[in-house]
Structure 1
Amino acid sequence: MTPYRDAARRLMLTSALVLGLALSAGCAINKGSALAEHFEQEWADTADVAEIDTHGRNTLPFAGTATATLILEDGTSAERVTELAHELGAYVADHRGVTGEISAGGITFAVAPNRERTGDVVALWESLTADERVASGLIDIGYQNDDEWTIEIVAVDAAGALALFKEMVGETDQYRPFSSAVTSLQIDTEREAELSVRVSTDPEGNVPAEAIAAYEAVAAQYPVVSGGLAPDRAGIVVAAGTDLVEAGELARSSAPGLTDIEVTADSGN
């Protein structure tokens, strides 16, 4: 046997040995897929779970992560949701590389390995599902930073969206602990809503107070079709035929510290 063939044979044998050891130790080549499959097996036939949605990410050989969502039956009680949330949180704590979510009552929320943290998330979920202004929503949390919240909500109408936003970023007991540590909040109106509004903080949790002031000032005087409100800008669309000069002046005078304000007329499309 030539030296080249001998070296190649040793390399193949070594590779096979490494692969065999990894597999015998329970390390799947596609780890993310394996984590997702294991989750489905563990949670199959769980009471009040209508569907299990998993996504495995295979980043490298023998490395990967999985996200799993328990979609609960309609009408599942808050007590049962709470129970499942803590059970899922315990599972996440024991299975590195797995993140877990629960979808119930139109709101999807992430659980945490920490029981207290999951309790905070469930409390916020209960507040949102009890609020008639909320159509649906998503609550995400930082797994490395206990103060991190990322929340997206769809409100049934524009008035509800603005009111809900103010309450959630304010010092209101109903929406604690999020209201005391805002990091990212976005609220949209439903697509079918007559008046469309999107209002959001920036990733650092800064609130668009001036953009809201500009929007509300214009809406009090002119028919508004839609608005996009953020800490650094306000985009306001008014009905066709509105005096754009006067509406623009009103918006800018109501938000003197905001430089990016745009008031335009609805095109009718």
Structure 2
Amino acid sequence: MRARREEEIDLVGRTVVITGGAQGIGFETARAAVRRGARVALLDIDAEAVTRAAAELGDRKTALGLVADVCDVPSLEQAFAQVTEAFGGYDTVVVNAGIGTGMRTFGATASADFHRIIDVNLHGSANTVRASLDQVVAARGQYVLVSSVLAFNNGALQSPYATSKAAVESLGRSLRSELAPRQVDVTIAYFAYIDTAMNAAVWADEAGKSYGASVPGFLKTPLTAAAAGRGLADVIAEPRKTLVVPGRWKALLLLRGLWGPLSDWALGRDEGFTRAVRLADLPGTFR
């Protein structure tokens, strides 16, 4: 059977809403979806960036850029209402908006920073689903929740981010089971080393470099945000339960019960990681 190519038009008639859509993975997902014939609505807190991003993808019949704060439910409700007004509805929501931080120990992470990451990444995901649930259920549509390999890999020195993404995974699994009888698909996407501005900042400081030197090369080779976006467009076109990018992490997801204790043990004995902990534990280093 002939392999399906990305260029084939397989999303005609679909309307996809993407939070955090102004840049990075969100924008590249929108680009791939438009290429396949979908209409897209980009939601982002940055008004200038989201307007510019939507204009790059096409006219307002194809791409809409809207300001929305995932931590503000009325803001989300208004944005989704605008999507419905412009496009007559939507069937797919990519729950992508998120933030991170540099390498810090839990002790060196300000309480406000921890809570802010949880608020955006977890509560923002829940807010997004809640604001769009009636429409997606009515359309028998789809949710794609962006988690991370840190949902099952050790999240040391990134505990707020890892905690939030593990919770997003749990939210996605719950939604998948609850919405299956209503014919709504739920995909959980696990991303690792994707070349985005956020990931670059995490690994750029001295603690990140020291920690990174301890990670096996085959696990940390980055992929582009465009590759991640194409992967998300794939699961919108052909829904499945999980997406893992880069694919080399699939085995670790399947073997998480073994990999988790093994990686915990290995980190405790790794000199590079121990040095990274010392660097990341210095007050003010990453402010």
Which of the five TM-score ranges fits, normalised by the shorter chain?
0.3 to 0.5
Question: Normalising by the residue count of structure 2, what TM-score does the alignment of the two structures yield?
Answer: 0.34
TM-score of the aligned structures, taking structure 1 as reference length: 0.35
Bigger-Rg structure (1/2) = 1
Q: Which protein has the bigger strand share?
A: 1
Q: Which has the higher contact order (CA 8 A, sep 6+)?
A: 2
Q: Name whichever structure is richer in helix by fraction.
A: 2
